[in-house]
Amino acid sequence: MVPISATQKQHGVVRGRNPKWKLRRVDCTGDTFALVSHRATHPIESEHLAYIDERFAVLPLGCSCQSNQQINVNSNLIGRALGSASPRRINTYFDWLVCPSISLEKMVADGLPVPEGLSDIGWARGRPEFLRYGALFYHEFINSSKEYEYTLEGFLRLQGKFTHTSKNLADSAASKEAIFVWSNTQNNLTRVANECDGLDLLLTEEVIERVVAAGDQLSGQHARYVFVTYEDRNVVADFKHPRATIRVLRRDSSTWEGDAEQWAEVFRSLNPEPQSSGPGAQGK
């Protein structure tokens, strides 16, 4: 149950400020609401997109959907590369979020927050946004017709989902040997950046520092990092980090998914044992 205000109880309808948000009727009792409308399901919501086994967790940290998509596609290969006998997949907090590195750092610092009320959700140029952090819930509030529909039901589903996935991420990052994956190789990022202020179209040293700071806070400073980028989206000239690598891919023809073969090469290079200390590596 979610608290609502007296004005929101009018005629049993929670009213939003944005006319694009369609709000279904609800049955209000006291200071809470109970949903009476049918549940609209998202076709990709049930997929498990991060990797975990008896020792390792391979976890996406942004900046968009391609990182978790390719972990999902290559999960069996990841298991073989890491020598796992029992790989499985889980949902984690940054799956399907469009999340600038500055938002990532703040969200981790605040303990992987979950929206508390309707006022936490805004509308960023046609997409639902976590207002305090500037991250886009790009794949939330989508109805069975694949249209955005801002309903109380959708909010409750989002709240429950992120309560669950925040715990998954915190627990797996802290209890396993974490390998965090970040990428900016999604081909539609230029358009998405028009909808999300501060999205990292370029891999810079500042982006690396933010991602590593966030991952180290989650994992207790023992994690490894894989940054995947294109040559024209990488401006890190002299890369030095003992626990991170940069992998540079060739541009592919996909809209957002990425090239599974090139990503397979990225994951084949994973090693069960950390590489010897020294400067970070760049590779193609």
Question: How does residue 150 score in pLDDT terms, banded at 50, 70 and 90?
Answer: confident
Q: In the prediction, which pLDDT does 231 show? A: 96
Q: At what angle do helices 205-219 and 152-175 cross, to 10 degrees?
A: 80
Average pLDDT over residues 110-125: 91
Least confident of 158-167, 239-248, 268-277: 268-277
pTM greater than 0.85:
no
Q: In the prediction, which pLDDT does 23 show? A: 39
Q: Where do the H-state alpha helices sit in the chain?
A: 65-73, 75-81, 101-109, 152-175, 189-193, 205-219, 260-268
Average pLDDT over residues 58-79: 94
Average pLDDT over residues 222-251: 94
Question: How does residue 26 score in pLDDT terms, banded at 50, 70 and 90?
Answer: very low
222 pLDDT more than 80:
yes
Cβ proximity of 136 and 98 under 8 Å: yes
What residues does each domain of the chain span?
7-43+115-153, 50-112+160-283
* Cα–Cα dist 259/257, whole Å: 7
Average pLDDT over residues 26-42: 30
